[in-house]
Chains A and B, each alone.
Chain A
Amino acid sequence: MSALRENWRIVALVVLLVASATALFVPGVPPGTSADGGTDAGGPEAESASQLTNLNYGIQLSGGTRLRAPIVGITAEGVDVQATEATQLEQTVADELGVDTIDVRVRPISNDRQTGAVEVVIENVTQQELRAALEANGYQPDTVRDGVTRETRQEMVETIDEKLRTSALSGASVQIVNVPGGEHFVSITAPDRDREDLVDILNERGVVKIYAVYPGGENGSYVREEVLQRSQMDDISSANREGIGWAVYITVRQDAADAFAQRMVDAGFDDGASCGNYNHSDIQQTTGDGCLVHTLNGEVVTARGVTPDLGGSFANGEFANDPVYVMQTNGSEQANEIELNLEAGQLPAPLDLSEDSGASLDPALAERFKQNSLLTGLIAVLMVSLVVYVRYQRVEVVVPMVATALSEVFILLGFVAFVQYPLNLSHLAGFIAVIGTGVDDLIIIADEILQQGKVETGRVFQSRFRKAFWVIGAAAATTIMAMSPLMVLPLGDLSGFAIITIVGVLIGVLVTRPAYGDILRNLVLDED
């Protein structure tokens, strides 16, 4: 037992090595991975099941696309607007600016918000125009700035996340990047996908609208009214059924079903309606009794009449018993697209892709980067071993030295696998930096302990070791100091590089480098 206590540093090293091996190789150990191998996010990808390790690779090493773009929008902050006025103000501002209400959002004063805000999420509206529009209606904003509100940013992340998941982009992730100085960007990573695929998904704001078009205006002209909104829908699914074809089945929320039926009755659909010859390019022109018109991004998808049965159920209230709205589409692709857009919702604001910053890499090339950089790392380790061997010429000094440096990297890999941090090229550079500082420190320890004469007693060893450790600790502190700004600044992969280096230095100083001292003591004392 006393041998164990004396060599507790070596024991700690072995424990960490075993823990790392578990995190690296045992499937399902890191949180968020499944026991059958690979990450949950990697789901349907077959190759994830055959992965050798639990390591997670970023796009530079596994291919894919990363996008970073600002959100389009301007925001007036400090607007004294209450929840009751919100809808009205949205309409007024939209009219004033000549934009759709969907592009204007009022964030009234609430529990989470001390002051109200009004944001316009469309290009070509200037800050002055928004201020003027608000002032014309008696609101005095404190400031008008570029960007959107915090709530909208949060909704952006949720919506994009939903879109990525429903569009089968496995392993994709989205986050908001905050830059010191108050700017915010959306950062999206999608493995195994081209930039074009990703942009397609994002570019679509995916606005699905359901209108009733019916004669009700002056001189028998047709009126168009939005009758069902996303907030009134519950379950949405697409299916291909006998006699109907591809359609999206929308369950209307229970509390909205009666109101919807009533609106249909008011629009004159209570005894059914034949849509007649609907003119797709002019939404208000038809020859029939009335139509239900479905649009996606302003384009008409389908226009359908209402069967007398359905119309009757609106009138007698039966609709609410089974409130399913059937939106017919032209084929499976359209049905899926509408389902996706309704499910994921539309982006609360568009992304400014002309200002994007990102990278896209072919998986095959990334794979070669992975192998070649691994090879490069190995060659660097060999070179280091050679130099220290030439310098010391003593196997019992050099072999533990190289083994310790490698175990540092191994523990670090275990850590990275455990937290499922996606590895990129710059992180591999970080690993090499860790080997470098690690071996430097081991040389300091070796020189200090092996200097002038033999290490006769444990006490001499302890004193020498402590002296060496002062230098190592000081050097580690400066390295951590040098890397810490990068950890918090959003400089792409450099943050990852800094985190890897700092964690590596910490593992080194706290565990592996002291353990090397113990190993050396055992070997050197044995000799004497």
Chain B
Amino acid sequence: MFEFEVPEVDYTRYSNRQLVAVPLAVLVLSLAVVGGWWVVTGAPVDRGIDFTGGTELTIGSNSTLTNDEIAGTFEEPVVSIQGITTTSDSTYENQYVVTFDNSTDVSAVRSAVQSADGMTLLGSGTTSPLFGAQNQRLAVMGVGVAFVGMSLLAFAFFRTFVPSIAIVISAFSDIMIPLAIMNLLGIQLSLGIVAAFLMLIGYSVDSDILLNNHVLRRSGGFYESTYRAMRTGVTMTLTSIAAMAVMAISATFFGIGLMADIGLILVLGLTADLMNTYMLNVTLLRWYKYEGVNR
């Protein structure tokens, strides 16, 4: 039977500089993407209707509709139309999600679908610009407080600068990398994704704490401790990645956007976390253990 054993990485073969170079390069690249996006579009990431305001309708139909047919139903300008895969047990053969901008009145577009032939209104969601702006303010506040709180806890646990800041940098990078990839893939920020980022802060810190704990608070040599921490930590992260990947795929298949988004962001973030923990964090700890302590 297939078996996996976390491989023992021979860290002695690489210098600190070599090890740190990769995660730092990826972080800088991500920051460049996010920063560039910010300069060009005015926001670090494309915001969905949860934040900009707007209306989204879910429409069911038993005939295949073209985008023009759907857009023609409405007097209001349509921002996007997205077909959703339906499974054999669904009531309608086709489902579409139609998005409108924040100047659209939800009652008007709802009644347009209700009076249209061959279309059934399955659902609608609307956010006014007022609520959108408020969601944005609150979400930034929430992620900010969560991040600062997490950082303070990290410092409280280890009480030394380098190991604690390693956790903070690693968590920061774990968030920035998926954010940059979101921009490249054209995924819009939703409230669900904000939840995913907060989950990511929690998950990302787990493996970092484990590593720091093994290296700093246990007896044994640095490389032995690191390997023990890796064996546990990599298993943990791989388990989570597997669960989230399955969730992302199956939720995409079922058309449950929120869960698909959360799954995708966590797969990206946890993969970034593997790199950050076992290249960036390990190196900072090694530097601290062999050189930093003696200063």
A binding-site residues for B, Cβ under 8 Å? 68, 70, 179-181, 183, 195-196, 199, 354-362, 364-365, 368-369, 372-373, 375-377, 379-384, 386-388, 390-391, 393, 425-426, 428-429, 432-433, 435-437, 439-440, 443-444, 447-448, 451, 467, 470-471, 474-475, 477-479, 481-486, 489-494, 497-498, 501
Least CB distance, A224 to chain B, in whole angstroms = 35
Which of A195, A357, A375, A436 has a CB less than 8 Å from the CB of B127?
A: A357
Interface residues of B in 118-168 (CB under 8 A from A): 120-128, 130-132, 134-135, 137-139, 141-143, 145-147, 149-150, 153-154, 157
Beta-carbon contact of A481 and B126 below 8 Å: no
The minimal Cβ–Cβ distance linking A225 to chain B, given in whole angstroms, is 38
Query: Is B258's CB under 8 angstroms from A437's CB?
Result: no
In the complex, which of the residues B1, B203, B251 contacts A436, with contact meaning CB atoms closer than 8 Å? B203
* Centre residue among A68, A365, A393 by max chain B CB count within 10 A: A365
Chain A residues near B236 (CB, 8 Å)? Answer: 439-440, 443-444
| Residue of B with least CB distance to A497 | B195
Write the nearest CB–CB distance from B243 to chain A, whole angstroms: 4
Cβ of B98 under 8 Å from chain A: no
User: Contact: B138 with A180, CB < 8 Å?
Assistant: yes
- Indicate if the CB atoms of B198 and A486 lie closer than 8 Å: yes
Given contacts A429-B195, A451-B228, contact A379 B246 (CB under 8 A): yes
Q: Nearest B residue to A432 by beta-carbon distance? A: B247
CA–CA, A169 and B168, complex, Å:
49
* Smallest beta-carbon distance B71→chain A, Å: 21
11 A-B pairs in the complex with CB atoms less than 8 angstroms apart: A195-B106, A372-B87, A372-B256, A373-B251, A383-B246, A447-B228, A447-B231, A482-B146, A482-B198, A484-B145, A490-B138
Partner of B154, one of A195, A391, A478, A491: A478
> Within 8 Å of chain A (Cβ to Cβ): is B89?
yes
Stretch at the interface among B10-18, B25-33, B204-212, B285-293: B204-212
Counting chain B CB atoms within 10 Å of each CB, the highest count among A355, A364, A481 belongs to A481
B8 / chain A contacts, CB cutoff of 8 Å: none
Residues on B facing A (Cβ under 8 Å)? 1-4, 58, 60, 87, 89-91, 105-107, 110-111, 120-128, 130-132, 134-135, 137-139, 141-143, 145-147, 149-150, 153-154, 157, 191-192, 194-195, 198-199, 201-203, 205-206, 209-210, 213, 217-218, 228, 231-232, 235-236, 238-240, 242-247, 250-251, 254, 256, 258-259, 262
Tell me the minimal C-beta distance from A48 to chain B in angstroms.
22
Contact A387 B238 (CB under 8 A): yes
**Contact of B128 with A383 in the complex, beta carbons under 8 Å:** no
- Contacting pair A195 B235 (CB below 8 A): no
Residues of B within 8 A of A364 (CB): 91, 122
Residues of B within 8 A of A369 (CB): 254, 256
CB distance from B66 to the nearest CB of A (A): 22
Return chain A residues, CB-CB under 8 Å to B2. Answer: 390
Q: Are A384 and B239 interface neighbours, CB within 8 A?
A: yes
For the complex, what is the distance from the CA of A372 to the CA of B85, rounded to whole Å?
13
**Is A428 touching B130 in the complex (CB atoms < 8 A)?**
no
Distance in Å: Cβ of B196 to nearest Cβ of chain A: 8
Complex formed: what's the CA distance from A494 to B141 in Å?
14
B107 touches A195 (CB 8 A): yes
| Most chain A beta carbons < 10 A, residue from B89, B105, B123 | B123
CA distance A501 to B97 in the complex (A): 30
Question: B150 is contacted by which of A425, A482, A490 (Cβ under 8 Å)?
Answer: A482
* A359, B245: Cα distance in complex, Å: 28
**How would you classify the secondary structure of chain B's contact residues: helix, strand, loop or mixed?**
helix
Q: What chain A residues lie within 8 Å of B1 (beta carbons)?
A: 390, 393
Given A388-B239, A444-B210, answer yes or no on A494-B194 (Cβ-Cβ < 8 Å): yes
Which one of B60, B238, B239, B262 has the highest number of Cβ atoms from chain A below 10 Å of its Cβ? B239
Set A196, A359, A365: member contacting B125, Cβ < 8 A: A359
* Other A-B pairs beyond A362-B120, A475-B210, A481-B153, 13, CB < 8 Å: A361-B123, A372-B254, A384-B239, A391-B235, A425-B256, A432-B259, A447-B228, A479-B202, A482-B149, A482-B201, A483-B202, A491-B142, A497-B195
Q: Determine the residue in chain A with the shortest Cβ distance to B252.
A: A376
Given A379-B246, A444-B232, A491-B191; A359-B251 close (CB under 8 Å): no
Given A383-B242, A483-B146, A368 contacting B128 (CB threshold 8 A): no
In the assembly, what is the distance between CA of A76 and CA of B153, in Å? 45
Interface pairs A-B: 3 shortest CB-CB:
A479-B202, A357-B131, A372-B254
A375, A391, A489: the one contacting B250 at CB < 8 Å is A375
Complex CA distance for A436 and B269, rounded to whole angstroms: 14
For the complex, give the distance between the alpha carbons of A391 and B145 in Å.
36
Whether the pair A356, B134 counts as a contact (CB closer than 8 A) is no
Is the pair A354, B124 in contact by a Cβ cutoff of 8 Å? Answer: no
Report the minimum CB–CB distance from A227 to chain B (whole Å). Answer: 37
Q: CA–CA, A289 to B210, complex, Å?
A: 91
The residue of chain B having its C-beta at the shortest distance from the C-beta of A369 within the complex is B256
Report yes or no: B3 in contact with A470, Cβ–Cβ below 8 A: no
Contact of B149 among A68, A365, A375, A481 (CB under 8 A): A481
Complex CA–CA separation, A429 to B248 (angstroms): 11
Among B106, B141, B150, B247, contact of A489 (Cβ-Cβ < 8 Å): B141
What is the bound-complex CA distance between A365 and B59, given in angstroms?
A: 11
- In the complex with contacts A360-B124, A485-B141, A437-B206 CB distance below 8 A: yes
Whether the Cβ atoms of A384 and B209 lie closer than 8 Å is: no
Residues of A within 8 A of B254 (CB): 368-369, 372-373, 375-376
Contact of B192 among A70, A429, A483, A490 (CB under 8 A): A429
What distance in Å separates the Cβ of A79 from its nearest Cβ neighbour in chain B? 27
A330 and B139 CA atoms in complex are apart in Å by 52
**Contact A356:B138 (CB < 8 A) given known A373-B254, A390-B3, A484-B149:** no
Q: Known contacts A383-B242, A475-B205; is A426 also within 8 Å of B195 by CB?
A: yes
Q: What is the chain A residue whose CB lies nearest that of B50?
A: A492
CB pair A356 B259 closer than 8 Å? no
How many Å lie between the Cα of A139 and that of B51 in the bound state? Answer: 41
- Contact indicator A355/B4 (Cβ below 8 Å): no
Q: How far is the CB of B131 from chain A (nearest CB, A)?
A: 4
Q: How far is the CA of A173 from the CA of B39 in the complex (A)?
A: 44
A485 adjacent to B256 (CB under 8 Å)? no
Q: Which residue of B lies closest to A433 (CB)?
A: B199
Interface contact A493-B244, CB-CB below 8 Å: no
Cα–Cα, bound, A451→B191 (Å): 41
CB pair B202–A356 under 8 Å, yes or no, is no
Query: Contacting B153 at CB < 8 Å: which of A440, A477, A485, A491?
Result: A477
> Which residues on B sit within 8 Å (CB–CB) of A355?
128, 130-131
List residues of chain B with CB within 8 A of the CB of A435: 243
Which residues in A have their C-beta under 8 angstroms from that of B239?
Answer: 384, 387-388, 391, 436, 439-440, 443
Complex Cα spacing A479 to B124, Å: 33
A37 to B191, CA, bound (A): 34
In the assembled complex, the Cα of A362 lies from the Cα of B124 at a distance in Å of: 9
Nearest Cβ distance between residue A454 and chain B, in whole angstroms? 17
Q: Give Cα A380 to B145, complex, Å.
A: 30
Q: Nearest CB to that of B236 among chain A residues?
A: A440
